[in-house]
Chain A
């Protein structure tokens, strides 16, 4: 559903009370709205959907995920094991809302 791509915040400013930014997608510069990421800073990466930053990209987690993928085959090749899962369940932040 929702086309959203990561870009790097290169400048932030206030426009009539709304926090805005210039974001860089590999050389393409676009004005976007930062109202929903009040704490994001220049140099951070954000996921942008229809001109709004909706989520900060966590670089450390991205690198961890890629490292896990790299280990997938290698580990199995070395140990001769099959199957196994990477990553665990999500801790329930809101205490099991029903």
Chain B
């Protein structure tokens, strides 16, 4: 029986124990778990980055975005996290019978707008309609391809003791914006999803320092899940300072009354970078000059101690282990 998603440990175990063994013969690409696979081209220079993601967000429209922008930005970002510049997207729709045509139209318009604004065209697609109650409105899948510039080698296992952790801006905005519309939780907020394409920011960072080690967009499961996954795949220790995490007051407040940790809340327009110490100043300066990196901050470091484990330094100066969040984030009463 499949438990509900939300990033975190349950999805990770599915990939590790079910999909990876089943797909083992299809080549080395799945060998390292990353947002995008990179493929060498026969005889040619450069490598191709290839990624796909499916979007099942509820509600379909939320402050600052919709499933449409997410499907475009999310896949652009997955491709970008390998250091690639995305060149084209595909899309697939699974539509529940009875969905309002106008709703589908709005989603398509927003996807088109987002793709044009990002300069990454949607070039192919597919549509399937399933019986009522076999899907929840509409699901969207997108795939993207991009080209990894020469000399760029970004993947989780390159995290190295000494690397500095940089987050590109305030966290938790997307998750809180979506939660504010969810049935049973509704609350009023000025917060909007941070959904944004990050390939431009990544390009600027690479121009500042070619040898970035790891990039990750902390979507489901939040920054904490990203750090746990990277610590685990690179077998390094990761430490961050809670006081350094940029948490907007409204995100802190929403998490406070729902009993959630902002570090576990989803983002859709942020990245976490593992930067070798000699490149940090240049990279952070380049991020500050870019519209999607103005709030960039150093939050921690990679250490040789406690391999595979993420440790937070609390505001009081103690330390505690940070675990991969377990599936769906639920509001607590206690």
Contact = CB atoms under 8 A, between A and B. Distances in A.
**A, B in one complex:** yes
B273 to A, nearest CB: 29
Interface stretch (A26-34, A60-68, A86-94): A26-34
A1 B257 contact: no
Chain A, interface residues (CB within 8 Å), range: 10 to 19
A25 B333 contact: no
A60 B7 CA distance: 44
Interface of A: 1-3, 5, 7, 22, 25-30, 48-50
Main secondary structure on chain A at its contact with chain B?
Answer: strand
A26 B333 contact: no
Interface in B311-334: 332-334
**10 shortest A-B CB distances, which residue pairs?**
A29-B188, A26-B253, A25-B253, A27-B250, A1-B334, A26-B249, A28-B253, A30-B187, A3-B259, A5-B257
Given A29-B188, A50-B333, 12 more contacts: A3-B259, A7-B257, A22-B188, A25-B256, A26-B252, A27-B190, A27-B253, A28-B189, A28-B250, A28-B254, A48-B257, A49-B333
Contacts of A5: 253, 256-257
Given A1-B334, A2-B333, A50-B333, A27 B249 contact: yes
Contacts of B249: 26-27
Chain B, interface residues (CB within 8 Å), range: 10 to 19
B257 A25 contact: yes
Nearest to B252: A26
Given A3-B334, A5-B256, A5-B257, A26 B250 contact: yes
Contacts of A50: 333
A66 B170 CA distance: 29
A50 B258 CA distance: 9
A25 B188 CA distance: 10
A27 B189 contact: yes
A2 B334 contact: yes
A30 to B, nearest CB: 5
Interface string B240-277: 00000000011011101101000000000000000000
B259 A28 contact: no
Nearest to B256: A5
A48 B253 CA distance: 12
A30 B187 CA distance: 5
Given A25-B253, A25-B254, A28-B254, A3 B189 contact: no
Interface core residue of A5, A29, A30, A48 (most chain B CB under 10 Å): A30
A28 B188 CA distance: 6
17 contacts: A1-B334, A2-B333, A3-B257, A3-B332, A3-B333, A5-B257, A25-B257, A26-B250, A26-B253, A27-B189, A27-B191, A28-B180, A28-B187, A28-B188, A28-B254, A30-B187, A48-B257
